[in-house]
Structure 1
Amino acid sequence: MVSGAPAGPSDGRDRSSCRPVGLGVCRRVQTHLKNGSQLLKDGSCLMLGILRVHLPEKVVRMANFKGHALPGSFFLLFGLWWSVKYPLQYLSQKANKKSHRSYSFQRVDAMEGGMKIVFALIGMLAEQFVPDGPHLYLYSGANRDWVKLMNWQHTTMYLFYGLSGLVDVLTYISQVVPRGLDRLMLSTAVFVEGFLFYYHVLHRPMLDQHIHSLLLIAIFAGAGSILLEVFLRDNIVLEMFRAGITIVQGTWFWQIGVVLFQPWGGPMWDEEDHDNIMFLTMCFFWHWAAAVAILTVNYTLTYWCLQRFRRSSGEPYISLGIRQQKDDPSSQATFLSGSDEE
C-alpha cells in the first residue's frame, strides 16, 4: 500500500481496472498537479506508487548475458577437461598397477592451478572494468550508497577460485603444503560461490529466483563431493562426479543468461508463469542427463584411445578385467591381481 493513496473498498468502485498500461498510465484516471508532483487519482492509483513498484526490479537486475556466459564458459571448459583427465589417470594407473599418481599428472595439476589463476584474473578484471562496472569503487561517499554490489559479488567468487589455483601451484612446488589442502580450498571456493548466489537473487521475480536456486543444487552438491575428496583422494567416482557437476554449472549459467536476457532476440519469458517454472525444472535435469552422456562418451573414448596406443606400442593393456601382452605368442591372459602364469 502506498502512503497517501486512498484505500479501502468503502467507496464501492472497482479498482481491478486500475493497472499500469504504460509507464504511469492508468485506466479511468483523473490527473492533477499537487506540489509539483503528478498524482493519478482513481481511488488507489498513484504515480509515485507505480514508480516504487516497477523501478526496483530494473535496478536490482544489474547483470547481463555476458556476466553469465563468462563464468559458464570457464566451468564448462574445466568440466570437459576433467571428464578426460581423470579417466586417463585412472586407466593408466590400473594398467600399470600403480597405486600412486605419476609425476606427469602432478604437473598437470599445477598447470590447472595456473589456468585457474588466469581465468580468475580475467573474471575479476571483467567485472570491475566493464563500462558500467564499479572500477574498484565499493562505496560512494557522495551518494552514500554501495557501488555495483553484484559485480563485487562476482569478483569475490573469482577471487576464491584464484586462491584455489594458487594452492594447486604451491602443492606442486612445495612439499610443506599438507596433502588435501588443494581440494579443501577448491571446496571452499565452491561453497563461497553458493552462498554468494543464494543472497544474489533475493527479492527478484519468481522465475529469476527459481532458475538460480536450481544452480545452487549443482553448486552445493559439487562443494560437498570435493570436500569428500580431501579424505578420499584419487577416487574416480568422486572425480567424475565433480567433472559432471562442473559441466552442469557451465551449461546452466548459459541457460540462465539465455532465459533472462534473450541475447539473440525474441520475446522475454513471463517471470510469473508457473508453467515456465515447471519447464525449467525439467530442463535442469536434461542438463544433468547431457552431462552424464558426456562423461560416458569421454570415458569410453579415453579407454579406447589408451588401448589402441598400448596395443601399438606392445605395452600391457586392459581388456575385460584382464591384463594382456601384445607380444605373447599364445595370447595368454593374466589377471590384474598380479599372477604371471605361463
Structure 2
Amino acid sequence: MGSFKGHALPGSLFLLVGVWHIWSAVVRYVANPKTFRVRVWNPVPGFDGRLKYLELYLIAIGAFIDMCIELLYSTHLKFFVNGVLNPSHMNDFEHSGMLLMFFIFGLVALLSEKTRLVPLPEGVLCFIAATAFCAEYLLFYFHSTTHKGLEGYYHLLLVLLIGLCIMSTLTGALLPTSFPVDLCSGIAITLQGLWFYQTAFTLYGPMMPEGCQIKESMVSCHSKDSEVRGELLANFQLFSLVLGVLVAVVGSYAFAASRYRHSELGSLHDVQDGLD
C-alpha cells in the first residue's frame, strides 16, 4: 500500500525535470536546428553560470533525500529481523534501490561535467539514465507489494509510461541528432510525473472513484462493476493528461519559435513545403 506523499514527492521530481527537458529541447531546436543534439540533461542559462547544473543537483539531491526517507525514516532503522531483511519493509528497500540508481546517474553526470574523473559522452549518460529507468520499471513490475484490482491497474499504466521513458532515452543515445526523440523523452518523463500525482489524488486522495475505498491498507471496490468504472476512469485520466501535455508542447513550440527562431528553421520548413 502506498501513500499520497509517497507518490507526490517522486511525481514532483519527474514533473519538474520533464517540463524543463521539453522546454529546453524546443528552445535548442528552434534556435538552431542544424546543430541540435540530444541531451539527457539540460543546463540552466544565465545567472553567471551559477545555476547551470541545477537539474543534476535536483536529481541527485532529490533522489538522495527520498532514498533516506525510504531507507531510514520509513523502516525506523529496523533493517533485519531474525537475521534476514525485515519483510515488513521490503517495499521501502525496493524503493531505495530505485532511488539509488537515479542518485548514481545524477552523481555520475555531475562528475562527468564538472571534473575530469569520468568524462563521459552524452550517449553513455543516456544509457546510464535508461538503466535507472529500467530499475524503476523492474521495481514496479515485480513489486513485493502485490498491487491488485484498481491499484494494480494504476500501477500498470505507470509501468507503461516508465517503459516509454526507457525506449526514448535509449533511442536518444542511438539517434543523437533527433529532435522528436529528445522531445519524446521529455514528454514521457512529464507524463510519468503527472501520473504519480494522478495516482496520489485518485487512490490516496479526494478523487477515489465511486464504489471504491481504502480498506485494511488496500484499495478495494464494492463490486466488479465499480472496479471496471474505476479502470475506465483511469483510461480517461491518462488520455486527458496526454492531450494536455501535447497541447502544452505545441504551445511552447509556437512561443519559442516566435522568440528564438533561427533563420535555418524557416528554410527547413520551406524545403518541407516544397517536398509536399
TM-score norm. by structure 2 comes to 0.79
Partner of 1:274: 228
**Which of 97, 120, 137 is the equivalent residue of 1:156?**
97
Partner of 1:117: 60
Partner of 1:39: none
Matches within 5 A, 1:145-184: 145-172=86-113, 173-174=115-116, 176-184=119-127
Amino acid at match of 1:292: L
Partner of 1:68: 7
Separation of aligned partners in 2, 1:251 and 1:290: 11
Say yes or no: does 1:286 pair with 2:245: no
Say yes or no: does 1:300 pair with 2:239: no
CA positional deviation for 1:101: 8.8
CA positional deviation for 1:151: 1.6
CA positional deviation for 1:190: 0.6
Give % identity. 22
Partner of 1:250: 193
Q: Deviations over 1:119-138 (max 9, x none)?
A: 111211222344xx114443
CA positional deviation for 1:111: 3.8
Which has the higher relative contact order, 1 or 2, with Cα contacts under 8 A spaced 6 or more apart?
A: 2
CA positional deviation for 1:75: 0.6
Give 5+ residue unaligned stretches, structure 1: 1-60, 308-315, 324-334, 337-342
**Which of 13, 20, 25 is the equivalent residue of 1:81?**
20
Partner of 1:185: 128
CA positional deviation for 1:100: 6.4
Matches within 5 A, 1:158-237: 158-172=99-113, 173-174=115-116, 176-200=119-143, 203-237=146-180
Asked if the contact 2:19–2:190 (Cα under 8 Å) also holds between the matched residues in 1, the reply is yes
CA positional deviation for 1:297: 1.6
Asked if the contact 2:29–2:36 (Cα under 8 Å) also holds between the matched residues in 1, the reply is no
Separation of aligned partners in 1, 2:20 and 2:59: 13
CA positional deviation for 1:204: 3.1
CA positional deviation for 1:284: 1.4
Separation of aligned partners in 2, 1:126 and 1:258: 21
TM-score norm. by structure 1 comes to 0.65
Give 5+ residue unaligned stretches, structure 2: 46-51, 214-219, 272-276
Amino acid at match of 2:267: G
* The structure with more helix, counted as a fraction of residues: 2
